Structure 1
């Protein structure tokens, strides 16, 4: 058995390297690893098997612009037999007959694999599986490119359930999500769509199993699918590592697609009408266990069927593992959520989070030279926030973060401890030594409550990241208490309560003002003032509100900090105090939202309700 698998692996590599060259022959429809046939019956000998549109006599080859295929191939040190079978294939959505049951073509909530689904310009296909997006961690729908995308489609287009062929009324309730990603090529014919307007039941209709694992089928494996048109179909894997030339029509043309082939299961022929028919595209092929029952192992996604007059039916499926790797999904919600949280952390603050871009503040040359670096970059990413760390002052020069008010989660801070960021040198961070035995508090710059949004894993990672010392600034206890209970701590809440902010989203830049005359304590200069700029969108206009927290505006050098006040200031004023150049926006203080042409003086705030959003 080990030797046979080695031979198959060698043949697989040959198909991947040379298969497309043979598919350039207009008569060759596919090439893969299969079982040699004699008189239409399998011999048991593993071979490289070609399928052709028409088997021709040697004298007719030249006239048909084709050539003879080799009887044997020398692959490395192994001589491999070949086989030529007359068979061609079409995508399994072209002519869509009536479905096996009305349930599969109805609008259902929750949606289930096995139901009708399509892009608005496509007739109908099958929802193959509910999987989990590695980018967002959310449940999404898996089917074919030619079902959810099609030649006329684009990323972001609506996806319908049921598909257009089954309900062309234009009912807006049929919209179930939007196209997220797709692929048409050697890795397969696949697409992912968001699930926005309905719930999801991941169990496959009529099979009643939930895919939990992915495995590549081998020759002879028994498989089963549940498709929109033919309902439950039983098959046997007849070829593996197949490359097929498939015509996707105007706008896409002929493409080389990778996958495996399925023949009807002779043990179950009396129980099924067909292996594949129009509308089955996208259905999941599940592997069977040794006892014949449907397992929880997903082998592939159906994408084509044979179109051959001899009636020797075959189906083609993409390897689920290839689509998984190409499209970026997992069957495990926990795995997807963890990966998504890692990706979010790697991205940091998103400058395109709002309708208009909000880029991080520009640094002066001196500040850039003073910045700590991670992998050569001064902007250091965390989950939902990014910052620039001053190496000399050991505090953040600024922190930039995103707030999604519609997706905030309550995450308990119990058990969290303040700690150094292990990615940065200890000498550029103020750590625990500064705070022992005094009235200094470890104050979050980006509020913990602002960051804990998104999926559960994402929010929990943001919660953990918020306790890293680069996001912490030394604050007198009375300042910190005032900040939590007073105007400063209520700024973001006030915005969402008072303003029709687009999508309940905001981007914020904040931090300590690192002044030269700040008082030194335990070898660390303690910031005497803090700033915050809140960006938000009203209608289609980007606005900004700039605030300053200090004891007063003339005596910032004093450190008794007994009476903090919050002021509204202009961006120009804040730029002068911080040495940062902020992203421009309309001034939130103006009734019209128009940008001010002249700098206005600081305005003292008595309450968060007084902020003129």
Structure 2
């Protein structure tokens, strides 16, 4: 049912008569039963075709099918009105009142007594909309009356309640636990005897506004915990390599950053693999402006390819662990992960026809696609990625440029470990003249990635691999929809 809401829910909300789509107990003769159903609330409930046409609405299905399971639907007539209360604006002292003059202004230049001006204010225009804040869909739940615990005045929602907190309270013996359930939004329309209210899920509100109730820690206090092999409910260890690894100043072969880890191939000075965790339930929006690409001070300068490779040549500084994937957790965590992603150990040269997100390429959408098309347990994904090193890679500015990249996405679905592998090929033949050929993305078996990247993944991933035929390497994906999850 969650998959249905994610994939189809927004389509039903385009109907002007549909006010919400969710899960609830099916009603029969106005009373709730114990059977769960996909629940639609509508502003006006009608069944005749003429009445539907007059409302500009369409019939809703009697059932929907998800993964072969038939689920009944329920349509309930509901009307909501925000319970706002207009508070009087505090009076501003006259001497602190700000005036905005028009062009009819007379001024006196500064002198021994200061300066002054007089203006006539007229025809002031203003935009009542809040700039930059569009309409967004918010997760919500409905509150109905409890027959055994009626409200003192019989009212669930009253004027001025908007924004108030709804609390869930449960008691076990002497202990009572109270948690924030949501924020009040609206109640029944005036004159309606059907008492009910609507509240927004607080986490949905916080995510849309980019706020948290967790006290922020300083960015310096966030540790480089790196990739978590126990991030999913089934352990996913790091891969083993079959070639030389560069060591950090302290002798470490694996470098840890915020939410990702990597190992460097010594002979090529690029990462052999990068492993990162993605928590889709706590993503943050963090700006990438004014962040410089820098070398990792834990490695010698000649052990990593830095800024000397790039500039006016058609090569982008391409993130291996995608920047957007790392921006989760607390605000401080997301901010530090954002900066860590720009360290050159996480960067490889990539032709700009696939690295730039504006190109609308498949490669940069793989992680988004798994959340959109798969019912991922706990909204958590672990990912691995890196370049394919070949002896015949092109030399450019005394650096061999990889022309293939691989990516592996690992997640839990219905308690089972799943894995998907992808390979990207870029054409570097036209590097000098910037006549860029389009890139191609293939869905491939894990064994193919292991062979090309000279890696060995843990047996748990091998067992979870979708057995894509080797012939699939010759069939590039033409869209995200072509992925076989």
Name the TM tier (shorter chain): 0.5 to 0.7
Alignment partner, residue 398 of structure 2: 523
**Aligned pairs for 1:71-470 within 5 A:** 164-166=172-174, 174-175=176-177, 333-334=215-216, 336=217, 338=219, 341-342=222-223, 345=224, 347-364=225-242, 367=243, 369-470=244-345
Structure 1: how far apart are the matches of 2:358 and 2:383? Answer: 16
| Contact map agreement 1:175 1:197 (CA 8 A) in 2 | no
Kindly state the Cα deviation for residue 357 of structure 1 after the two structures are TM-superposed.
Answer: 1.1
Compute the displacement of 1:429 (Å): 1.0
Which ranges in structure 2 are unaligned for 5 or more consecutive residues?
A: 1-167, 183-213
SS at match of 2:290: coil
CA contact (8 A) 2:295 2:343 kept: yes
Pairs aligned (count): 283
Look up the match of 2:204: none
The change in CA–CA distance for 1:162 and 1:487 in structure 2 (over 3 A counts) is closer
Task: Using the TM superposition, give the Cα deviation of residue 498 of structure 1 relative to its aligned residue in structure 2, in angstroms.
Answer: 0.7
**Counterparts in 2 of 1:430 and 1:551: CA distance versus 1, 3 Å:** closer
Match for residue 608 of structure 1 among 457, 472, 480: 480
Q: Distance in 1 between matches of 2:319 and 2:401?
A: 15
Give 1:565-604 correspondences, 5 Å limit: 565-585=440-460, 596=467, 601-602=472-473, 603-604=475-476
> 2:282–2:328: 8 Å Cα contact kept in structure 1?
yes
User: What's the counterpart of residue 536 of structure 1?
Assistant: 411
Query: What stretches of structure 1 move > 6 A for 4+ residues in a row?
Result: 160-163
Residue pair 2:269, 2:303 contacting (<8 A) in 1 also: yes
Which position in structure 1 is the counterpart of 2:368?
493
Q: Name the counterpart of 1:150.
A: none
Stretches of structure 1 that go unaligned for 5 or more consecutive residues are 1-159, 168-173, 177-195, 200-331
Contact 2:321 2:346 in 1 (8 A): yes
What is aligned with 2:193?
none
Deviation at 1:403, TM superposition (A): 0.3
Quote the Cα distance in structure 2 between the aligned partners of 1:406 and 1:461. Answer: 18
Question: CA contact under 8 A between 2:245 and 2:263: conserved in structure 1?
Answer: no
Distance 1:464 1:586 in 2: 30
State whether residues 291 and 342 of structure 2, in contact with CA within 8 Å, keep that contact through their aligned partners in structure 1: yes
Distance 1:557 1:175, change over 3 A: farther
Q: Which residue of 1 aligns with 2:208?
A: none
Residue 484 and residue 534 in structure 1: after superposition, are their counterparts in 2 closer, same or farther (change >3 A)? Answer: farther
Question: Once the 2 structures are TM-superposed, how far is the Cα of residue 375 of structure 1 from its aligned partner?
Answer: 2.3
Q: Secondary structure at the match of 1:496?
A: helix
TM-fit CA distance, 1:436: 2.4
TM-score, normalised via structure 2 length: 0.54
In structure 2, how many angstroms separate the alpha carbons of the residues matched to 1:594 and 1:429?
A: 32
* 1:532–1:546 CA contact under 8 A, matched in 2: yes
Q: CA deviation at 1:443?
A: 0.7
How far apart, CA to CA, are the structure 2 residues paired with 1:392 and 1:406? 39
Q: 1:377 to 1:586 in 2, by over 3 A?
A: closer
Structure with larger Rg: 1
1:515-542 CA distances to partner (integer Å, 9 max, x unpaired)? 1111011111011111000001101111
Aligned match of 1:511 in 372, 375, 386?
386
